[in-house]
Amino acid sequence: MKIKHLLLVIGLCCTLFEGKSQTTTVYKQPDRITLTWSDDPSHTQSVSWRVNAKEGKIIGQITEEQSNPELETKALTVQGAAISLDRGQQRDTYGQVTFRDLKPGTTYAYRVGDGTNWSPWNQFRTAELSGAFSFIYLGDAQNDLRSRWSRAIRRAFQQDANARFIVHAGDLINRSNADEEWAEWHEAAGFIHQMIPAVPTPGNHEYRRDSLGKLVLDPHWKVQFNLPNNGPEGMQDAVYYLDYQDLRVISLNSQLIMLDSAAAATQEKWLEKVLASSTKKWNIVVLHHPVYSTAKNRDNTILRERFKSIFEKYGVDLVLQGHDHTYARGGLGKKRPIYLLSVAGPKMYESDSERWMDVATSQTQLYQVIRLTFNKLYFSSYKLNGQLFDSFELSKK
- Distance, CA of 45 to CA of 337 (rounded, Å): 30
Name the DSSP class of 198: E
Nearest to 51 by CA among 24, 78, 84, 73: 84
pLDDT at 270: 98
CATH homologous superfamily of domain 133-395? Metallo-dependent phosphatases (3.60.21.10)
Nearest to 173 by CA among 214, 207, 135: 207
Give residue 67's region: left, alpha or beta (phi > 0; psi -120 to 50).
left
Q: Where in the chain is the domain with CATH 2.60.40.380?
A: 31-125
Q: What number is the average pLDDT over the span 353-380?
A: 94
| pLDDT tens digits along 336-353 | 899 999 999 999 999 987
Q: Where in the chain is the domain with CATH 3.60.21.10?
A: 133-395
Nearest to 332 by CA among 390, 290, 271: 390
pLDDT classification of 298: cutoffs 50, 70, 90: confident
CATH number of 31-125: 2.60.40.380
Residue 333 has pLDDT above 90, yes or no: no
Q: How far is CA 67 from CA 56, 77, 103, 107, 391, in A?
A: 30, 19, 17, 10, 37
pLDDT classification of 254: cutoffs 50, 70, 90: very high
pLDDT classification of 23: cutoffs 50, 70, 90: very low
CB contact at 8 A, 33 and 112 = yes
| pLDDT tens digits along 60-98 | 999 999 999 999 999 999 999 999 998 777 889 999 999
18-51 exposure pattern, b = at least 16 Cβ within 10 A, e = fewer: eeeeeeeeeeeebebbbbbbbbbbbebbbbbbbb
- CA 352: distance to chain centroid? 29
